[in-house]
Amino acid sequence: MSEIRSADRLVADLVRDVPDYPKPGVLFKDITPLLADPEAFGHTVEALGAPWRDAAPRVDKVVGIEARGFILAAPVALALGAGFVPVRKAGKLPGPTFARSYALEYGQETLEVQRDAFEPGDRVLIVDDVLATGGTVEAANTLIRDAGAEVAGISVLLELTFLAPRTRTGDLTVHSLLPV
């Protein structure tokens, strides 16, 4: 097995399935064992950023979605030499914001971004841990456009393909490290 494939296997083995969390019927993908392993965490950050390293035009900003998305998106931003922009749950960002409400696999939420988070025309990479129904990423995409920037694409660690999230991502390029 190549070095790259064995690193992917290490990452996959450190995602823990938790049945019926946070609601009956949901198989929760717990990434905390992966985050606690520096080799697996480092490989994940490297692999999430790799498809965008030589992108033309370049990625100017990386958006992380509260809360688990922050953990992955911030180091990806640094690795790409891009700025980091937080998209947060409602009521956490000071100053004027754009807001979007949406449904996700196990609930309802509202996300916000600061109105001045981007330069006009910034190209933005969205990074998150899990792409499930795609509702979260769809809301983030809309917010980024509301704020005058353009979404270059999406990198996620896990894609729950049985929930068909790509029906919500339109023609955006999506890289998922572990489609399950």
Ligand X SMILES: Nc1ncnc2[nH]cnc12
Ligand Y SMILES: O=P(O)(O)OC[C@H]1O[C@H](OP(=O)(O)OP(=O)(O)O)[C@H](O)[C@@H]1O
Between 17 and 116, CB nearer to ligand Y: 17
Q: How far apart are CA 91 and CA 46, in angstroms?
A: 32
User: Which residue in 82, 130, 139, 149 binds ligand X (CB under 6 A)?
Assistant: 130
Give burial (CB, 10 Å; 0-12/13-18/19+) of 165: buried
Catalytic residue among 9, 66, 88, 105: 105
Chain positions 53 to 92 lying near ligand X, rule: CB under 6 A, are none
| Nearest-angstrom CA–CA distance, 26 and 32 | 17
Q: Which is nearer to ligand X, 105 or 112 (CB)?
A: 105
Taking CB within 5 to 8 Å according to partner kind, which of ligand Y, ligand X, none is near residue 8?
none
Three-state SS for 128-161 is: EEEECCCHHHHHHHHHHHHCCCEEEEEEEEEECH
- Closest approach of Cβ 146 to ligand X, in Å? 23
Rounded-to-integer distance, Cα 93 and Cα 23, Å: 28
Q: Is 16 labeled as catalytic in the residue annotation?
A: no
Clarify whether 105 is annotated catalytic.
Answer: yes
Could you list the residues that contact ligand X (CB under 6 A)? 26-29, 104-105, 130, 132
List, by residue number, the catalytic residues.
Answer: 68, 105
